[in-house]
């Protein structure tokens, strides 16, 4: 049971890493869609992204950490 949960968590992390790579790479306008969504859903205390490039770099770095976490759970 524990290995099934770890496998599921690893797959979710891998999916999240794939989504972050799509946003970071601007695949089919995913970066602009996330940019527009963040502008719409920003709360009263939320900060805006400085630029689209900053957002894409942040998602790229996040994808590296998510991929490392996914590999940790899937290889274990």
Binning pLDDT at 50, 70 and 90, where does residue 17 land?
Answer: very high
Report how many domains make up the chain: 1
Q: Which helix (H) or strand (E) holds 55?
A: helix 52-75
Quick one: CA dihedral 23, 29, 32, 36, positive or negative? Answer: negative
Binning pLDDT at 50, 70 and 90, where does residue 63 land?
Answer: very high
Query: Does this model's pTM top 0.85?
Result: no
pLDDT surpasses 80 at 48: no
Angle value at C-alpha 10, between 62 and 36, nearest 5 degrees: 40
**Residue 47 domain boundaries:** 2-75
- What spatial distance separates the first Cα and last Cα of the chain, rounded to whole Å? 14
Predicted confidence at residue 43, as pLDDT, reads 65
Predicted confidence at residue 28, as pLDDT, reads 82
């Amino acid at each position: 049971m524990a290995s099934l949960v770890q496998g599921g968590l690893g797959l979710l992390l891998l999916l999240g890493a794939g989504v972050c790579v799509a946003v970071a790479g601007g695949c089919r306008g995913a970066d602009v869609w996330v940019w527009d969504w963040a502008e719409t859903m920003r709360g009263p205390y939320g900060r805006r992204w400085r630029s689209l490039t900053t957002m894409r770099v942040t998602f790229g770095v996040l994808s590296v950490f998510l991929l490392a976490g996914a590999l940790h759970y899937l290889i274990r």
